[in-house]
Structure 1
Amino acid sequence: MTFPQVLTIAGSDSGGGAGIQADIKTFQERRTFGMSVITAITAQNTLGVKAVHKIPVEMIREQCDAIAEDFQVSAVKTGMLADAEIIREVARNIRLHNFPNLVIDPVMIAKGGTALLENEATQVLKDELLPLGTIITPNIPEAEEILGEKITTKAEIERAAKKIYDMGVKAVVIKGGHSEMTEAADFYFDGVTAKWLTSERFDTPHTHGTGCTFSACIAAELAKGNSLLDSVVVAKEFITSAIKYPLGIGYGHGPTNHFAYRMEDGK
């Protein structure tokens, strides 16, 4: 049996809850083979990011070339890209190697408030990466950063998704975890289908890596040949289970439970 091969291009989280560590765990849980191109090394734990070391673009290029030479990439997701130079290099390699099914998680701010994307890089992300994307998965603060406007109401979330869609990406899902809504509601838009995906909201600090995990699950489902909307629906169920059954690790924003979805209902 040949398993779909999925690539994450993102930063490393020494605490294991986010970044490539969360992505690889998610790929494995969704029965795909995970690979990685590391863009940055972070020293972090559940209490916050202590230090960030960006990987030179030459090494990012070498990693991408090595993956393309020997693997059949069925989907790719991007996470922490840190600065404009790295974004340009990643976009260049995605075009060069024709990596399909690009899921963009525009990682900008860590749970503890540390900026993970330099301000001037936002425009490069919009210009270089978005037009290559199959879907982008911003939370509300990230969508606000991309658009340069405040987003508060459901109507504003819907308008924001359509504005980001008009930047060239094939689909958008704006995650509503930062909203004041009683439910955890995410809005999906692909130019034709507009859909709210809702789940119970859980009162827990253990949400570190939710964005990474959500986008990684979408990439894994796309790699298996599932439709874009179906992939998002599975990812919503996956991350809901991961938050619902916390591991209780660390003294701050602890990691989600990546094997909860498999345990729940025997999935």
Structure 2
Amino acid sequence: MTSRTVDLRGRAESAGPDSLLAAVRVPSDDCVRCPRPGPVHDHVGHLHDEVAVALRPALAAAARSRGVDAPQDEELGDLAERDPNQAPPPDPTAARRRVAEATADVDALRERADRLGGRVEARRALDADTDAVERQYRTVARELAAAETERVAAEQALSREQAAVSRARDDRQASLVAADRRRNLERTARDYLVATVADAFERALRVVPGGVPATPDEYDGPPLPAALAVARVARIRAPLVVEAASFARPSRAAACLDAPVLLV
């Protein structure tokens, strides 16, 4: 066992690899006290014979662990500040229903007012008493004025809802454009970051067990050597959980990966 390697193989009391990995990634877990893992740990924190690794994202994370920034980072940061979870657009159905109901009320009351007005004129023409009919007419006229006020309010509310729908549609379109821009920037930034460590990755493949030198674009070998090479390229302070049979000696694992190792 070296100062950077803890060999837990064959220890009955040792935790399993999944438990160890969780302990490494939870700062409050006293089972393993270590620096907080960086993003690259998500890609190569657990190295085993069946490991799967997304090579380009892993290499981009490795580049960032070495302090490399991409030219696209500032614009990506600006885009990240925009709210991706926009509220759904308002539904104007209720506002339309309110306008329709208010319009129907106005039409019905106007029809009643017209009829009552006609009765008033007819009774006057006959020189008959109009008091009762005029009271009904005034009542309906007040109801009609209130209904017309309600219709105006309903139409204004509908106008506001429709404007909100239009704004939400515009915001949604802008969000889609921003999301597309963000994906393109992320891809360009990843390509840039991968290019900065491509030579280091190829050199690392010469050192790790099972590795065959190749550029990131050319590599089509097994996942484990690629993952080991990424780990070697990265600057890793938190322990890697390694259960690959490639490392018979603990010192070999730490030297090959250039990182702290929990060998299980």
With structure 2 as the length reference, what TM-score do the two structures score? 0.23
Higher helix share: 2
Choose between structure 1 and 2: higher strand proportion.
1
Q: Which structure would you say has the larger RCO, counting Cα contacts within 8 Å and 6 or more residues apart?
A: 2
Structure having the higher Rg:
2
TM-score, normalization: structure 1? 0.23
